[in-house]
Chain A
Amino acid sequence: MMNLLSLLLPLQDVSAEVIDRIPSGYNHFILPYFIGILFCISWLLVGLLRNLASLPAEDRKRLALSLVTPKTAWKNIRDLFCDCLFHTKIWKRKPLLGYMHSAIAFGWFMLIILGHCEVALFVPKHLSFKEGNLFYPIFYRFFVWANPEHTTLRGSLFFFLMDFFLLYVLSGIGLAMFKRIRSIALGMRHTTKPSLADRVALYALWSIFPLRLLAESFTANLSGGSFLTYSANVLLRWLFGENLYIMPWWWAYSIALGLFFFAMPFSRYMHILTEPLLILYRNAGLKIRTLNRGFGEAEIYACSSCGLCLDACPMNIQKKNLRFSSVYLIRFLRRHNQAKVDRIADKCLQCGKCAQLCPVGVNAPAMRVVQRSLSNNVIPYHYAYMQDVAAAAPASQGKVLYFAGCMTRLTPRIIKGVEKVLQTAGIDYVFADKEGGLCCGRPLMLAGRTDAARKAIEANRQMILSSGCTTLLVSCPICYKVFREEYDLPGIRIVHYTEFIQELIASGKLSMEKDGTRYVYHDPCELGRGCGIYEEPRAVLSQAGTLCHASKERDESLCCGGSLGSLTLNYKDRGKITEGALETLLAENPECIVTACPLCLKTFSEKSAVPVKDFAEVVAGHLPQASA
């Protein structure tokens, strides 16, 4: 056996090497690793400087300020640990997948940290500060030998920890390999198609840790090791005899590392190093202004291409629409493939689920809107007529101003319901757009027509401010979101009717009579993920009847298919999305579907076999008979 191996691997004798390895801290085998990481670091450094330079001056100032503000600094630290190392967001949804990611990320991180500790503790100072210090922590077991029989307790603790974390990483790698074969076992129906650079980096990453295990195992009788490496070493010596050929394994390990770092900037693994930057930018409160520069570029490179957005996207009820997922938007943005980027950007329904579930927190819907604005803002229109709206403010000094919005005006039963509830509760209100009004601006925003949206927002803002109202009540979540985010209305409370009615009931101004009807509540995208309102409508509906669960609800809720967000999705595909969403709603056989968005109401009503009702309509139907 030994003879055969020595024929195949004509290598130097181990004992001959011993002497010059320790003092120099250098061996030729580190070269692949060294070149790889040198390339990677310089590439990243140039990229980072370019990115920082492309930030607008005001954003740069904001970033600097956020780094020294204790509150954001603390948030940065917490997010860096939770998102980058522990992957808590994935843990919460898919525990096994979370384990896989955190095993690789946190395990590797600990190996690096512990490696440096070992060097600091055990390598003589005069050596570690000389030329060798670069490679001691990475290839510690090669350069520093400790006779296993004479290790101190402190030393063996480190040996144990290093072996433990290596095993931890290896378990993650094992799961990752299994995921390639059967992703559903880890909770993913679809995974991304890896690009060429992804593949190179992926296979390199897969081989790094098994090779490290082999290299350290081959050396363990000389360098020392713990339960994993030393046991493997005993096995290896039993198999191949006492004189083990260690060099090929260290070379292979170094090559795998080098290859990984070399491929990294071109692959999905770039996110390991760019995600921290995105976290800092995000916590500093920066907004996406342009793609391929500044914050937008950080988002693009922070995408880990993990493909969790594939299963999240409601369009993917049809497999052919997988190609419009956020992960591919970002891939083609990276490749500057304008035609594909435009097509993907326009197709999205803007339901926000991919952004909500993204482990890195990439806001792909916002990126799509920016992309849309590049081509859609060029159409010239006249907006003079908007001034009439601004001037026609209904006097509502100190009162509630009800703004129904275009979509509610097309679904009159909502208006009927809202008015009945308001009258029953004795609210003094004024109907702002009874005679017609102006678009809230949100659909224009979604279409990337930001200039037009600004015009509409300003005209509406003037109308609302000069009305003198103190509360602005809306029944459409689409309006609600834009009012909350884009309107500057000092002193005016903006409230959605689900919140308002819940408060009326809580304060005793309104009471409801419960019956046995089984309701299911559909979370509209703009209200749930868009504005974080999940509890209020449920609290009210549970007083109208029995509230059933949908198989996907709250932040997992599916778009109804009628969204204004998509510019190009055809009605047939939308219909499929509607049918899919209805299926999730009917999981517990409810008798009635309730939603709090005119668009969801309209979309579901056309397809549903079960009656679909508006939130206010249900409330109005459950008012006590005396007052009704």
Chain B
Amino acid sequence: MKKNILIIGGGPAGLEAAASLKHSGNNIILIEKSHQLGGHLARWDRLFPDGIRAREVLDKMIASLDGVNYFTDTDIAQINILDRSYSVILSNGISVLADAVLMATGFDLFDARKKEEYGYGIYDQVITNADLEDWFRTREDSRIDHPKRIGFVHCVGSRDEKSGCRACSKVCCATAVKQACEIKAEFPDAQVYCFYMDLRMFGKHYEDLYLKAQKEYGIRFIRGRVSEVAEQIDKTLQVKAEDTLSSKPLKVTLDLLVLMSGIRPSQNLEPVRKALQLAKDDDGFINERDAVYELQKTSMPGLFVAGAVTGPKTLPDTLAEARAAALQILSYLADNDKKPAK
């Protein structure tokens, strides 16, 4: 018998899971709250470590959907737990009796305005990593006009208890180094600084990227957090930091400051999480059943998770989780069939 599988979220995790499930003979329904598929990936220009185009990756994913039902601009209006299924009413009026639900709801980028000392939303020349990706893609941003001195601030809203998040966002270090190289390539005579706490270059080729940034692009890495930013009359920014390697305070004038906003739990998800009685971690992400063996399962039977819904992840990790979740869903449905009905 055909089973209904509901996938919440049309980002990389949702798309990849849908593609992995499409030949399973079940009825897949994918919903996406925004007007286009792709999630944060649709906003990105190129991907670390090798600089592949985000668009190409996304196009491949969407192409492999190939017949899966999906609804954009659709949210969950109501979700109820039944005996062996979930009754879901979508915001477009359709109701679904889902035998399995995959939460691939991703993350929110940290709202950089909350770190007011960096001046995002107050000073013109302060932008975020996402703003910069927009510019890489569209070349439309009046703030980026041949900057001569550019700074990147790592860990904005991550590893910072004061801003409500102790954890590392995992992807910003590599993103910052990637973006620093890219902007240096655009403006070869610009001086580019990265203000970091420590560089977490844990993945394959990441360390090479870091080395290349120093050797080929001449990016200057300064170990120390930015303490405050002030705007001058000519709109340039005066940035104060401490170089903790030389134990000296530091003051530089910059034309552009890029804040590496971290990964935060999706706020949109909260009503659904509450309706499903799912526990969340201290940092707000959904708890998986255990952190080693059952990463794709939750405390509720038939409810699965993949990607950044459980915490910061790189894109390859997210895709791997999506494929794993697809397999787990199929084995759950098969097991469920064998059990006698109540």
Contact = CB atoms under 8 A, between A and B. Distances in A.
Q: Do A and B come from one complex?
A: yes
B231 interface: yes
A377 B134 CA distance: 52
Contact of A412 (B114, B164, B231): B231
A120 to B, nearest CB: 69
Contacts of A572: 282
B162 A571 contact: yes
A194 interface: no
B164 A571 contact: yes
A412 B240 contact: no
A567 to B, nearest CB: 15
CB-CB nearest 5 A-B residue pairs: A410-B117, A571-B161, A411-B116, A412-B122, A606-B114
Nearest to A602: B116
Contacts of A621: none
Contacts of B65: none
Contact of B228 (A410, A575, A602, A606): A410
Contact of A409 (B123, B161, B228): B228
B161 A605 contact: no
Contacts of B161: 571
Given A412-B116, A412-B119, A413-B116, A606 B163 contact: yes
Contacts of A575: 164
Nearest to A575: B164
Nearest to B161: A571
B230 A409 contact: yes
Nearest to A562: B162
A324 to B, nearest CB: 20
Interface string B104-144: 00000000011011010011000000000000000000000
Given A412-B119, A413-B116, A605-B116, 20 more contacts: A409-B228, A410-B116, A410-B117, A411-B117, A412-B116, A412-B122, A412-B123, A412-B230, A413-B122, A434-B230, A436-B240, A571-B161, A571-B162, A572-B282, A575-B164, A602-B116, A605-B114, A606-B114, A606-B163, A606-B164
24 contacts: A409-B117, A409-B228, A410-B116, A410-B117, A411-B117, A412-B116, A412-B117, A412-B119, A412-B123, A412-B229, A412-B231, A413-B116, A413-B122, A434-B230, A571-B161, A571-B162, A571-B164, A572-B282, A575-B164, A601-B116, A602-B116, A605-B116, A606-B114, A606-B164
A416 interface: yes
B301 to A, nearest CB: 31
Interface of B: 113-114, 116-117, 119, 122-123, 161-164, 228-231, 240, 282
Nearest to B166: A571
B122 A416 contact: yes
Nearest to A603: B162
A384 to B, nearest CB: 15
A255 to B, nearest CB: 57
Nearest to B238: A435
A409 B238 CA distance: 12
A410 B113 CA distance: 12
Contacts of B119: 412
Nearest to A407: B117
A602 B114 CA distance: 8
A364 to B, nearest CB: 27
Nearest to A606: B114
Interface in A593-617: 601-602, 605-606
Contacts of B230: 409, 412, 434
A602 B117 CA distance: 9
Contacts of B164: 571, 575, 606
A411 B113 CA distance: 10
A371 B114 CA distance: 35
A606 B161 CA distance: 12
Contacts of B117: 409-412
Nearest to B160: A571
A472 B203 CA distance: 54
B104 to A, nearest CB: 26
Nearest to A572: B282
Interface in A129-161: none
A605 B120 CA distance: 14
A571 B165 CA distance: 10
Contacts of A571: 161-162, 164
Interface in A245-274: none
A72 to B, nearest CB: 46
A200 B282 CA distance: 46
A413 B120 CA distance: 11
Contacts of B123: 412
